[in-house]
Amino acid sequence: MIKNHFYLLSGETTTIAIAECLAILESLNMDYKAEKYDQILLLNAEEESCQRIAERAAMVHRCCISLFKCEADFNQIMTSLRDTDFQKHISARETFAVRVKRIKNYSPEVSSLLLEKEIGAFIHRSVGARANLENPDKLFYGVLTDGVFLFGISVRESERKALGLRKAKFRPFFIPSSMNPHLARAMVNLSRARPKEFFLDPFCGAGGLLIEAGLMGCKTIGSDVDKKMVRGAKRNLLHFNVVNWNIILSDAKHLPFNRFDSIATDPPYGGSASTKGARPEELIEFFLQELDELSSPKGYVCLGTPLTINVNEFISGTSFRIVEKHLIPVHKSLTRQIIVLRK
Ligand SMILES: C[S@@+](CC[C@H](N)C(=O)[O-])C[C@H]1O[C@@H](n2cnc3c(N)ncnc32)[C@H](O)[C@@H]1O
Q: What is the pLDDT of residues 86-116, one digit of tens each?
A: 999 999 999 999 999 999 999 999 999 999 9
Instruction: Give the range among 1-5, 39-43, 256-260, 339-343 with minimum mean pLDDT.
Output: 256-260
**Per-position DSSP letters for 45-77, written without gaps between them:** EETHHHHHHHHH-SSEEEEEEEEEEEES-HHHH
- Ligand 1 mutation pick, 210, 224, 330, max ligand atoms within 8 A of CB: 224
Q: Which residue type sits at 41?
A: L
- Give distance in angstroms: CA of 136 to centre of ligand 1: 47
Q: How confident is the model at residue 318 (pLDDT cuts 50, 70, 90)?
A: very high
- Ligand 1 mutation pick, 204, 255, 269, 294, max ligand atoms within 8 A of CB: 204
**Can you tell me the mean pLDDT for 277-282?**
82
Q: What is the pLDDT of residues 3-42, one digit of tens each?
A: 999 999 998 787 999 999 999 999 999 999 999 999 999 9
Atom number of ligand 1 nearest to Cα 267: 10
Helices (H), ranges, 73-180:
74-82, 112-127, 160-164
- Give distance in angstroms: CA of 47 to centre of ligand 1: 40
Query: Domains in the chain, start-ordered, CATH in brackets?
Result: 2-157 (3.30.2130.30), 165-342 (3.40.50.150)
Instruction: Give the range among 127-131, 264-268, 295-299 with minimum mean pLDDT.
Output: 295-299
Q: For ligand 1, say whether the CB of 229 is within 6 Å of any of its atoms.
A: yes
Q: For ligand 1, say whether the CB of 178 is within 6 Å of any of its atoms.
A: yes
Confidence at residue 28, expressed as pLDDT on a 0 to 100 scale? 95
The better pLDDT of the pair 215, 12 is held by 215
Spell out the residues 6+ positions from residue 285 whose beta carbon is closer than 8 angstroms to its own: 314
Atom number of ligand 1 nearest to Cα 206: 9
- Does the pLDDT at position 121 exceed 60? yes
**C-alpha 180, offset from chain centre:** 12
Confidence at residue 270, expressed as pLDDT on a 0 to 100 scale? 65
- Does the pLDDT at position 201 exceed 70? yes
